[in-house]
A and B are shown apart, each in its own frame.
Chain A
Amino acid sequence: MPHPETWLRPTPSGLFCEPGGFYIDPGRPVERAVVTHGHADHARPGHAAVLATPETLAIMRARMGQGAGATQQPLRYGEALRLGEVTLRLVPAGHVLGSAQVVLEWRGSRAVVSGDYKRQADATCAPFEPVTCDVFVTEATFALPVFRHPPPAQEIAKLLHSLTLFPERTHVVGCYALGKCQRLITLLRAAGWDRPLHLHGAQQTLCRLYEELGVPLGELLPATVANKAALKGAIVLAPPSAIADRWARRLAEPVTAVASGWMRVRQRARTRGVELPLVISDHADWDELNRTIDETGAPEVWVTHGRDDALIHALALRGIRGRALHLIGLGEDEDDALPAEPGASPILAEPGAAPLPAPEATA
């Protein structure tokens, strides 16, 4: 039985499956791409042929139009397909709508490329299914034991409690337009919030698409046309970048929230000026990563991107071989994967020195 490293290898364009003749989530335009999900760091424009779930293809068309692939081949979850000498299957990854793990088999050897995934429940997509394999290819975005995502309902309760404390203020929640936004909406609905939710323009296309694909989101209104008074006490969902943008000025004394796994670390939240950090992530946390790897029974794990050092160390402690692939381009362009750098202080002679003297009135 051939070891997967003989037929699946990292290249500058991405992970290449030689006997199948295709790349998985390539970072550059290629002849044949298999795409795990629609986030921009995994689904790039300009490939000649793209294979993905029907939902992922629909998301790619909505986001990049003509760039979504000259030919598109949909493959439903669980259906097997032969590409070259390789048998390929897509299995739910639980990350966002349409997200899939790519299960590859060649001459009796099986590798699973999981893309991005999570194990928490998510009403907007099919849940992750573990598949036993010889090599499990995993992300490691939150691969430090400090990252343990709390139950999302608890975080939503914080948001709703804040609305009772500050009923006059607009609560603007920064969230990625694909996946996080729609998940937040379903979480809010599940918590009993049946008032309309307001959307920044950047969130509208994908919410509409989710509804077309069978994910009900309730009443959604654009936040752009509503006047300031109408947004008092409202929840507005916006891209994280918009919070710092001029757009946010239309809002009534906004409380700025951000929903992201990075919000678990206080300093990260503070440097981004977040007032209400909500630890809600579409990535596996430390426990989920380790549990998932154990469930696949894989004796060897390849880490595509993220904190590979900690994960590989933890795997070695239980006799699992770990290998860092350092794939280029993954983990970019996605808010969950990109914390802001801590603020630089250009004025002080040395780091850590006290700030400038504050004015002190004396009478």
Chain B
Amino acid sequence: MSVAAFAELLERLVFTPGRNAKLALLRDWFATQPDPERGIGLAALTEELVFSVAKPAMIRDLAAGRTDPVLLALSHDYVGDLAETVALIWPERQGVNAPPPLLSEVVEALEVTPKAELPTLIAGWLDTLDSSGRLALIKLITGGLRVGVSGRLARVALAEWSGQPVEALEELWHGIPPPYGPIFDWLEGRAPMPDPRDAPVFRPLMLAHPLEDKDLAALDPAAWRAEWKWDGIRVQLTAGPGGRRIWSRGGEDVSAAFPEILAAMDFHAVLDGELLVIRDGAVAPFADLQQRLNRKTAGPKLQKDHPAGVRLYDLLFDGGEDLRPLPFDARRARLEAWVERHAPPRMDLSAQIAFASVAQLGEVRDGARAASIEGLMLKRADSAYVAGRQKGLWWKWKRDPLSIDAVLMYAQRGHGKRSSFYSDYTFGLWRPDGEGGEELVPIGKAYSGYTDEELGWLDRWIRNHTTGRFGPVREVEKALVLEVIFDAAQLSGRHKSGVALRFPRIARIRTDKPASEADRLENLMAYVESREAVD
């Protein structure tokens, strides 16, 4: 199938908010497309295959050659996005009989065509496509599909479609390059499971469950180990003769964003740890780390101002030896010895916290107020390293959230099942308006924490107290107080209020409290742990 089929998939994915619906669309793609088209399409969606052969200027010039400049400018002004403008305005030629290109033809031609001939080649393709096809092609060759399909989501869809476990797919995925022929052969029963050999693949992570009170009561201190739960991002470091990679929690390759870590991985092992910004041994708040996330590269200044480090907490492979079947205590001993022996720069050991009783552990947890600590991790001493979220092996025990009483200011409708509900709430706190009065300043947005019943109540309240509309957003009477809980408050130059909340959610609707008695911005500022503004 051609670029046209891919364009339809792309269009549906762009407009589909729900995860399940996205999975259904991907399963349909795998089931109906031939090789190698389905693999190429998949790699393009997950951005494992990225072209940037054409610059936006080339696309603009192509369109300018076919249209009137004033009309092109008016259209660009209206549509906003250049790629979309060109896709829509491209005049269709009568009598073009050539079929639209296959994805594989596009990929092959882009590799062999000299640069000077690219505009003619691309214009020829555009002539064979309709507007969706043109948009797909332009986005593909300018390297910006951005449809919200993660590699993880794609692998879940493959697993659901084929019936094979997602962990197995995860583990060989990065060893087989696009268009993944051997993987599809295996999934369709034509060949055995491929062997990635020495390739630096991602090993599915062991995940933790939130600790509840009843679990806490049953906890035997002798059988459990505790560590801090750091507020960074989970990474897996893998290095060996096949290469080096830094994998995110979902198995995305984030190596390029952390060159200093990659450079320090001069070993043959697979490690589990927390990526953090660490300055002079002190872990910076999450907002600092955020400056390093979702980037393709990191320049020297960024590396200097926001130095990355990894706090190690598990050793999965030592050389070629798979340690995952060993109990936690044994792996921990191997990890400590390994760190001692290799002492890799920018990495240190996540310390274990000794405790004799659950009560004592509770005190430790409550005593932790640093922004970089979310709470505690509890790991069973005799547990192997198993993929996924198996209950009773690892617990996360977050510290109690902070709370503030804020005033509802704006509401927005949700997506999917919530598309008819005002379910996203922007709330604010009081501050002096500089003229002797008080004004509300928005401090955050939350879209969880409430019950279905509360959601229904809030939705009715919002519809009955709307004072203004901005597209999907409603402004409401500043009359409803919401108790908002959050994990931390951090300074931020990106927000009007100067402060950003970490994981805010709605705890309670305070109909008992008048809006004038809601909290003031200074109450929130008292929670801010780091006084140094980021960004």
Contact = CB atoms under 8 A, between A and B. Distances in A.
Contact of B131 (A148, A244, A274, A353): A148
A353 B494 contact: yes
A108 interface: no
A150 B131 contact: yes
B45 interface: no
A267 B81 contact: yes
- A148, A255, A363 — which one has the most chain B CB atoms within 10 A of its CB? A363
Given A166-B21, A363-B396, A348 B494 contact: yes
Given A146-B78, A346-B410, A254 B419 contact: yes
A310 B16 contact: no
Contacts of B208: 363
Contacts of A253: 416-417
Nearest to A279: B131
Given A165-B25, A270-B15, A273-B472, A243 B419 contact: yes
Interface string B487-501: 000000111100011
A150 B130 contact: yes
Given A249-B420, A274-B15, A343 B71 contact: no
B517 to A, nearest CB: 23
A306 to B, nearest CB: 12
B88 A265 contact: yes
A267 B80 contact: yes
Interface string A322-363: 000000000000000000111110111100011011011111
Contacts of A271: 471-472
A248 B413 CA distance: 13
A317 interface: yes
B470 A273 contact: no
Interface stretch (B114-122, B228-236, B301-309, B334-342): B228-236
B68 interface: yes
B104 interface: no
Contact of A256 (B130, B419, B421): B419
A347 B427 CA distance: 9
A354 B535 CA distance: 12
A349 B68 contact: no
Contacts of B68: 313-314, 317
A138 to B, nearest CB: 17
Given A145-B71, A344-B470, A349 B496 contact: yes
Nearest to A158: B8
Given A273-B413, A357-B290, A146 B85 contact: yes
Contact of A363 (B84, B131, B377): B377
A245 interface: yes
A245 B89 contact: no
A233 to B, nearest CB: 14
B89 A145 contact: yes
Given A146-B78, A266-B84, A354-B494, A363 B287 contact: no
A272 B135 CA distance: 20
A146 to B, nearest CB: 4
Given A165-B28, A341-B471, A356 B445 contact: yes
Contacts of A267: 79-81, 84
Contacts of A243: 419-420
Contact of A275 (B15, B84, B233, B501): B15
B502 A344 contact: no
Contacts of B96: none
Contacts of A165: 24-25, 28
Nearest to B234: A362
A276 interface: yes
B277 to A, nearest CB: 14
Contacts of A342: 471
Contacts of A317: 68
A269 interface: yes
Interface string B336-378: 0000000000000000000000000000000000000010010
Interface in B368-406: 374, 377, 394, 396
Interface residues on B, range: 35 or more
A146 B80 CA distance: 12
A146 B231 contact: no
A342 B79 CA distance: 12
A28 B459 CA distance: 37
B442 interface: yes
Contacts of A244: 413, 419-420, 472
A146 B90 CA distance: 8
Contact of A357 (B24, B421, B500): B500
Interface in B412-433: 412-413, 415-417, 419-421, 426
Contacts of A147: 88
A107 interface: no
B207 interface: yes
Nearest to B205: A363
Contacts of A309: 74
B112 interface: no
Interface string B139-168: 000000000000000000000000000000
A152 interface: no
- A313, A347, A349 — which one has the most chain B CB atoms within 10 A of its CB? A347
B88 A146 contact: yes
A362 B274 contact: yes
Nearest to A277: B15
Contact of A349 (B84, B377, B494): B494
A277 B420 CA distance: 17
A296 to B, nearest CB: 21
A256 B394 CA distance: 41
B470 A343 contact: yes
A348 B496 contact: yes
B249 interface: yes
Interface in A139-163: 144-148, 150, 158, 162
Contacts of A313: 68, 70-71, 74
Contacts of B444: 347, 356
A347 B494 CA distance: 10
Contact of B472 (A150, A340, A357, A359): A340
Given A271-B472, A275-B17, A347-B496, A246 B420 contact: yes
11 contacts: A146-B75, A166-B24, A264-B88, A267-B80, A272-B471, A276-B12, A314-B71, A347-B444, A349-B495, A357-B290, A362-B229
Q: Which 10 A-B pairs have the closest CB atoms?
A: A344-B470, A146-B88, A359-B503, A343-B471, A248-B420, A363-B208, A347-B442, A341-B471, A146-B75, A340-B471
Interface of B: 8, 12, 14-17, 21, 24-25, 28, 67-68, 70-71, 74-75, 78-81, 84-85, 88-89, 91-92, 130-131, 135, 207-208, 229-234, 249, 274, 286-287, 290, 374, 377, 394, 396, 409-410, 412-413, 415-417, 419-421, 426, 442, 444-445, 459, 463, 470-473, 475, 493-496, 500-503
Interface of A: 144-148, 150, 158, 162, 165-166, 243-249, 253-256, 264-267, 269-277, 307, 309-310, 313-314, 317, 340-344, 346-349, 353-354, 356-357, 359-363
Given A314-B71, A362-B274, 11 more contacts: A150-B130, A249-B421, A253-B417, A256-B419, A272-B471, A272-B472, A273-B419, A344-B470, A346-B473, A362-B234, A363-B229
